[in-house]
A and B are shown apart, each in its own frame.
Chain A
Amino acid sequence: MIRAEGITKIFGPDGQSILPLLEQGMTKDEIQAETGHVVGVRDANFEIEAGEVFCIMGLSGSGKSTLIRCINRLIEPTAGRIFLNDGESGEREITAMDDGELRELRKRDMSMVFQHFALFPHRTVLANTVYGLEIQRRNAEESLQIGRRVLDMVGLGGWEESYPHELSGGMQQRVGLARALATEARVLLMDEPFSALDPLIKVNMQQELVRIQKDLERTILFITHDLDEAMRIGDQIAIMDAGEVVQIGNPEEILINPKTEYVANFVEHADPTGVLTAGTIALRFDEDQFKRVDDSGDLIYYVRRSDPEGARFGVDRDQRLRAVVPAGHRESVELVGLDDIAERAADETSDGGRRDDLALRCDEQAVLRTVLKGRSCSTVPTVVTDADGRLLGIIDEPELIRGILDKKGHGEQADSNGAGVEPASGGESKP
């Protein structure tokens, strides 16, 4: 949908003249000290798919606002190219548009939420909300209807005729949000749109935004200071430092594999339970970790090497999981999907006890939080299987603890131990 190539913005009288210095690798501070120019954004490259939420994070002054303003050219980039591909009119280069084309783009294809709201003080809340529609020359009656609907959506029904200064900061911010949503543009540029909201409304708004984005296929660029927010709604996260995009990746990648110290510091306090997936934290089912104990029958039984007296896992010749025999049991116990356990927990184990005669099964995509929830009603290791029921790995207490505390899975650990064995993946691993 949006592709950026080498966007650079240098503030100052002659930005162009600074470009060679950037190539020589001078830092932002050096350039500022020597030439008085400020590097806002430095060689940013990324690609955003249609329907994605692209989060931009970074410390104050790291160039987030500058970058997002380059996308609709409220700020003219010093160098670099930006392309928009909305699937209909093919790929268009935003950085090559003339004034008229640019206006059309801003009117129909992109709308913006401002960090400092920038509501028109002389217009009522409703008149602010329909501003974009007014510029689109939409029928007034229809505009007002859309405006009212969007205001309801952001929880400001009943405030239509108030003026912005009569509203609290958080309410003003939601008017800014409504103004951007009303134009039905497919790309939303949002500069810290939830920063002034209380936690409760914030979560509501996040859910609303994700819903809008799903239903209406909006592509969203989203600046935030709140890492958990970025992790919750972002498909990709870009982390900026002194004008530079230092890492781009999905939330889990950023969390488990920060590229620099700066990123690591950033994610240190993130809540991993909503991000890490079972596939990442599970102890992989391979020869290094599991020992074959019994293959006399139809099934082949394995135990964990570090816990030979523990539960045994029986798989058939296709590596499909058939049986889980917890320690102290002779027979396989019942296997229940994580999704089903919630309902069952409600009526069967309502005494809150953890059962040792029930094993849980989940797929790779399940997040840590749901695994933890399931574990509250069973003491047996949770098994991770793929769509065909093949055993991929197991999650027991050590894996859960490591996931929460170190935000790490077993994959990297195997590497750092120097075992030299590629972590097993999919159905190819044949212990």
Chain B
Amino acid sequence: MSELLEFLRQLFTDPFGLLDIPVREWVTDAVNWIVRTFRDFFRSYVSPPVRGVMELFQWALSSVPPLVFLALAYVIAWRAASWRVAAFTVIAFTFIGFMGVWDQMIITLSLIATAVFFCILIGLPIGILCSRSDWFYTVVRPVLDIMQTTPPFVYLIPAVMLFSIGNVPGLIATIIFAMPPMIRLTNLGIRQVETQYIEAAVAFGSTPREILWKVQVPLALPTIMAGINQTIMLSLSMVVIAAIIGAGGLGLEVYAGLERLNIGQAFVGGIAIVLLAMVLDRVTQGLGEKGPASRAKRSE
């Protein structure tokens, strides 16, 4: 009788003490198991290509003399957007150089280029698949939500356990965090293509593949470019976090500055990141607006 009373009392005052779901242990065990089982696989098959691409970008970017780099940046920004953007680009890069963080900027730029490269490589096909199969999209969607909303700090540790510290785990975390918009916007862009164009393609006997590559993807390009733009922005936002687990560049500048309470150093890194973000944003946006498909859209 008193046991029953005791139970009722607890049910009232502390119902959640009655049962303990050991998610903590489960996750710890699962991560340990994954790390044990797949560490070798990841270190020998995932790390090398990521590191390889990263080093390639870094080599290419750092072997260009700064003045040539500025000239190239001007031409690219001018072709992609406008002479205003081009002028801003050159001023921003020059300022970064005079602040003394040119080399760090080159490292960050190659980190971002690598992350974006893999986001497109993986995200574009997944996005296309999502647009063609409702079933597949319903499966992928919650995964994207998880990737986007889980605080990156949570998967930094497993990333380190799998890849040890350095640029690679930072890149992996960045790729996971920055890929969702690529997938979402590719899917959205393709689904948004007006049926009249699909019908016209069908009426001339196009195969599904021809419809995809000749009509859907080109018409979705402005939206896909918006996805790439967002991916770049998200990659930049991961720069500091990636520095915590050993990635270099401007992020490290900020992180190290904060750790040593050197506010000036942290600010220089921060300003350089913001400038880089603005340049990349304007240039990729310009790129998205330049294609014939988006020109047509604007004049409608």
A residues whose Cβ falls under 8 Å from a Cβ of B: 72, 74, 103-108, 111-112, 114, 116, 118-124, 131-132, 134-136, 163-165, 179, 183
Contacts and interface: CB of A to CB of B under 8 A. Distances in A.
Given A112-B204, A121-B296, A131-B200, 18 more contacts: A74-B199, A103-B205, A106-B205, A108-B205, A111-B204, A118-B200, A120-B201, A121-B197, A121-B292, A121-B293, A122-B291, A131-B214, A132-B205, A134-B214, A135-B206, A165-B299, A165-B300, A183-B204
Interface in B219-240: 219, 221
Contacts of A124: 292
B204 A132 contact: yes
A118 B219 contact: no
B219 A121 contact: yes
A122 to B, nearest CB: 4
A74 B202 contact: yes
Nearest to B195: A118
Given A74-B199, A118-B197, A121-B297, A103 B292 contact: no
Contact of B204 (A106, A121, A164, A165): A106
A29 B197 CA distance: 31
Contact of A131 (B204, B292, B295): B204
In the A-B complex, the 8 residue pairs with the smallest Cβ-Cβ separation, listed nearest first, are A107-B205, A121-B296, A106-B205, A122-B293, A118-B200, A118-B196, A112-B203, A165-B296
Interface string B199-219: 111111111001000110011
A163 B293 CA distance: 9
Nearest to B217: A122
Contact of A120 (B205, B215, B297): B215
Contacts of B197: 118, 120-121
Contacts of A74: 199, 202-203
A179 B299 CA distance: 23
Contacts of B297: 121
Contacts of B215: 120
Interface string B260-296: 0000000000000000000000000000000111011
A183 to B, nearest CB: 7
Nearest to A124: B292
Nearest to B293: A122
Contacts of A183: 204
A108 B199 CA distance: 17
Contacts of B203: 72, 74, 106, 111-112, 114
A105 B205 CA distance: 7
A122 B197 CA distance: 11
20 contacts: A74-B202, A103-B205, A104-B205, A105-B205, A114-B199, A116-B196, A118-B196, A120-B200, A120-B215, A121-B293, A122-B291, A122-B293, A131-B204, A131-B214, A134-B214, A135-B205, A136-B205, A163-B295, A165-B295, A165-B299
B12 to A, nearest CB: 52
Nearest to A110: B203
A205 B136 CA distance: 48
A143 to B, nearest CB: 13
Given A163-B292, A164-B296, A118 B199 contact: yes
A287 B205 CA distance: 62
A132 B204 CA distance: 6
A119 B292 CA distance: 13
A135 B292 contact: no
A163 B201 CA distance: 18
Contacts of B219: 120-122
Nearest to B297: A121
Contacts of A121: 197, 219, 292-293, 296-297
A240 B215 CA distance: 34
Contact of B296 (A72, A111, A122, A134): A122
Contacts of A135: 204-206, 210
Nearest to B206: A135
Nearest to A104: B205
B8 to A, nearest CB: 53
Contacts of A112: 200, 203-204
B218 A122 contact: yes
A195 B202 CA distance: 23
A118 B203 CA distance: 11
Nearest to A176: B200
Contacts of A123: 292
Nearest to A109: B205
B202 A106 contact: yes
B204 to A, nearest CB: 4
Contacts of A108: 205
A249 B131 CA distance: 47
Contacts of B221: 122
Nearest to A72: B203
Nearest to B207: A103
A274 to B, nearest CB: 32
A122 B297 CA distance: 10
A107 B293 CA distance: 25
B200 A122 contact: no
Nearest to A102: B205
A97 B97 CA distance: 67
A322 to B, nearest CB: 60
